Amino acid sequence: MYGTADVSGSDWEGLFRPVSHRSVMFEFEVPEVDYTQYSNRQLVAVPLVVLGLALAVLGGWYLVTGAPVSPSIDFTGGSELTVESSLSQAELRDNTFDEPVVSVQQVEGENRYIITFDSSNLEPIEETARSSDQMEFLGSGTTSPIFGQENQRLAVVGIGVAFLGMSLLVFAMFRSVVPSIAVVLSAFSDLVIPLAVMNLLGIKLSLGTVAALLMLIGYSVDSDILLNNHVLRRSGGFYESTYRAMRTGVTMTLTSMAAMAVMAISATIFGIELMASIGFVLVVGLAADLMNTYMLNVTLLRWYKYEGVKR
């Protein structure tokens, strides 16, 4: 119908094929989606339903806890203790300290741990560590509630400024309301969905995950602008232009997802909790970006090009 992708017969057969008989590298072909088989309502329904569910999770979380996302000690204040011990992570978490333990992270070898507490009072925590025969005290640190609130304010301001700058840039590029709204709505959904999944899986919002969310804003804008630019500014029909953008955008996104998945799995294996959380947030956000770009954004662009501009 349009494009040049060779996906027929058994559909996915041949998507990965050797570049040459001497090479171990593989060429990835993006399957050509026949958008004409789906109405605008069918295409836009899935991303809007997922966005609605994500907003419901965040709203419910806010009603129950007072915050849409569970914050880490970066925003609430707390303490960290570094020890060397022969005890397991479970034993350190459950049976060693009187203060509630938030997390136990293994670092720099088999017997070194960073233990996180909600409390900012280090004295009893350090005393327990120093007096124990099963662990060696190595260091400690605290984040005050006031400093945590300042971090929270800066994080909110940072995300807000990034969104505002992204919106102004997109509108300046396309000078049209519908394509600009499509990009902004996709980026918003790319943020909300990972936040909801973080709540469901118990991943707390930290400075590291905020950085991952800021990365998602940039990535979402990049993939959406790529699509808009192909459809609105380059020659060719709507579906041909969409497929050209998909060949670049989908390959780029899947490659990034694979890299972030490897990082998250490796960090989980080695007990690097922060890197695992960042990798997981990016994988979920990039998966959401695929859905929002090539279902939500494509739908709005198709309506704009075939119906909206005629009115």
What are the sequence ranges of the domains in the chain? Answer: 37-71+147-310, 78-143
Residue 186 CA to residue 297 CA, distance in Å, equals: 7
Beta carbons of 196 and 69 less than 8 angstroms apart: no
The reported pLDDT for the residue numbered 309 is 54
Q: Return the CATH fold of 78-143.
A: Alpha-Beta Plaits (3.30.70)
pLDDT for 106-132, tens place per residue? 775 567 888 888 776 778 878 888 888
> Looking at domain 37-71+147-310, which CATH architecture does it have?
Up-down Bundle (1.20)
Same fold, 37-71+147-310 and 78-143: no
Q: Confirm if 120 and 78 have CB atoms less than 8 A apart.
A: yes
Sheet hosting strand 78-85, strand order edge to edge: 101-106, 112-117, 78-85, 135-143
- Output the CA torsion 281→89→146→153 (10° steps): 0
Whether residue 25 has pLDDT greater than 80: no
* Per-residue pLDDT tens over the stretch 41-81: 999 999 999 999 999 999 999 999 888 888 887 777 778 88
198-236 per-position pLDDT tens digit: 999 989 888 889 889 989 988 888 898 899 888 888 778
Q: What percent of the chain has pLDDT over 90?
A: 32
Cβ-Cβ contacts under 8 Å for 218 (sequence gap 6 or more): 162
Q: Give the C-alpha separation, 129 to 176, whole Å.
A: 62
